[in-house]
Amino acid sequence: MKRMGLCIGLKAEAIEEYKRVHADVWPDVLAVISRANIRNYSIFLREPENLLFAYWEYHGDDFASDAARMGEAPAMRKWWELCDPMQQPLTTRAQGEWWAAMEEVFHLD
């Protein structure tokens, strides 16, 4: 299992809508995430900075392949079409990233 953390900005005018859609995530999207071997997935919002922090545990053997399959799923593409315009990627993210990956520096079970 690998713990993963990512962050991204959230546009101020989209906060309420983002919260609303995430209070009722589509079942097809949840199924795609589960099939990608992602468990214990949470997204946190920090206001007033409007930063989103996502955390999950990856239980597969090939995250790149699982992520690619997740991105090919019609439900996930529609979900991203809904959510991506609400987000503001960090200018410091790596090339090719939407959500910026974070380094784990501490963990306690």
Domain CATH for 46: 3.30.70.100
pLDDT at 63: 96
* Measured distance CA(99)–CA(7) in Å, rounded: 5
pLDDT at 61: 97
**Within-domain flag for 107:** no
Please give the span between the terminal C-alpha atoms of the chain, in angstroms, as a whole number: 13
Q: Read off the pLDDT of residues 52-84 as tens digits, 9 standing for 90 and up.
A: 999 999 999 999 999 999 999 999 999 999 999
**Within-domain flag for 35:** yes
Indicate the pTM of the whole model: 0.93
> What is the band of 51 on the pLDDT scale with cuts at 50, 70, 90?
very high
**Within-domain flag for 108:** no
Residues facing 53 on adjacent strands: 7, 44
**Within-domain flag for 80:** yes
**Within-domain flag for 92:** yes
Of 2, 11, 22, 59, the active-site residue reads 22
> How many structural domains does the chain have?
1
- Give the domain range for residue 9: 2-102
Q: Would you call 59 a catalytic residue per the annotation?
A: no
- What are the C-alpha distances in Å from 65 to residues 16, 37, 54, 71, 73? 33, 11, 20, 10, 13
**Within-domain flag for 28:** yes
